[in-house]
Structure 1
Amino acid sequence: MLAKAELSQDFTILGRQYKQLVAALLEAVNMPGIPMEVGPTDRGNFRGFDGNQFYVIERGSLTARYQGKLIYVMEQGEILLPDIAGNQEEEAAVYFGSDAGARLTAYSALEFMRQVFEDPAAIRLWTRLLITYSGLMLRITSGSVEADAGATPGFEIYEPGEIIIRQGDRADYVFNMSVGTAEVIVDDVPVGRIVDGEIFGAMAALTQADRSATVRAKTTCSVVKVPKEQFTELIQRNPATIHSLLIDMANSIVNLNEQLVGLRG
């Protein structure tokens, strides 16, 4: 994904991760799509655009324009989702076209999501994809407006021993562990671990409470962080996110129980 705004290196890293998640999700769903060719677009959406379908870019690129301005460019291997297509009001709509044409594969959004909901692994991939996508969009937004003091999305690298979350701090973000392993510590006692693909930090963010535990990188960790307001909106619009979040919370409870058994032994 390319943005008109000048963005930092973490945007490139997020974009690479987004493509990897798209490929993994398509493999997990394993659903045949409908190939289609898109010609150059003068205005509006590309010919054949349907808000009830997902589109994966197989060749070429798609542009996203808002109020006549180019916002970003989607590249080969990325997916266009219908819930980012704006609405029917011309002034508020986002339009997707192509400058030089593109080859796409179209998937029925309803059938695709039905397949996702049938597979817990696909649900986790879908949730990670949405979080990563939210990070990309928020980076584009923050790069296009003046900086403020509020929380902004990001992609962080933590070396072993570095603190990702500190117990007692305010909860401004929800995190997704892209790559790496971290340990969870409460009152200086290790009580659990966080591994690839897990969402963490959500409980405090959703309940408006301070952080109840410290999370410290055990290996080099690549972490996507999303402001809590954006994560709340994500949950409201995508019920699959709740399922994935519950799985991660259940895993955390299992890990905590294992640690308690070990301490008692």
Structure 2
Amino acid sequence: MYIPGDQPDALDTLLDYYHGLCESAPKLPEGIGLPLLPGKNVEGLAAGCTLQVQEGVVDLVYEGRIAIILQPGDLFTIPDHTAWPITMRSEESGALRLITPNEMKRAHESPDWAWFHTRLLTAQNQALTLAFAASNRHGIRPTAGFRRLKAGAVIIREATASDEVFTLMRGSARVEVAGHSVGRVDEGEIFGVLSALTKGSHTATVIAETNVTLMSVPSDEFISLVQAQPETFMRLLRTLSRHIDELNHQLVGALNHKPGTGAGRA
């Protein structure tokens, strides 16, 4: 069994132990031999049956991504429900052994086989748990603070540094540069990001137009949050895209009204 991705060293140790178990397996039930065809999905297998990879490899694919690669010696039980979202696919020729539930039940009458299978499943479970824990980023919870400000309050000031990134939870705010209004901040939008990313000063002032509720997150924690949670990055990208679009419209408007550009001529 191989789990793609950047995994902790401890996972390699667990998988080495697991592979050692596979190599020392007692005699398996006879089962039914099945061929692996290159580039084909492994389909039509009875639920509850157990597969052993004898030759080649089998990819377990979730939403087009290879999640796990089964290698020779690996055992995998076919789920007994139809909503299973994982597809099994082989990119090369090989062979499988299909073991029915009744054959597995008879095999467990042997204490040696039952003990081997228990250790194998335990090693699988530990490896998959560690891989999930290492890849799951949704447990990151930044130290968020909440504050309420009255209309007219300055939230961030141009040319000053800050160690926080803000999300406007309620209300509205305007963005000014050198005293000129250049945009707005709407509910749900994130601001103060450039200062966090560049570790420099704010390039604009943000002023509450109404009473506002803000959520603030320390800059270093926000960067970790963006790296871990794509949905936060997408929210940020949408906010920045809208601000760029606003600035483009303002720039075009300013150029059209600039003397000598021909604006307003017949």
**If the length of structure 2 is used for normalisation, what is the TM-score?**
0.47
Q: Which has the higher helix share?
A: 1
Instruction: From the CA coordinates, give the structure whose radius of gyration is larger.
Output: 2
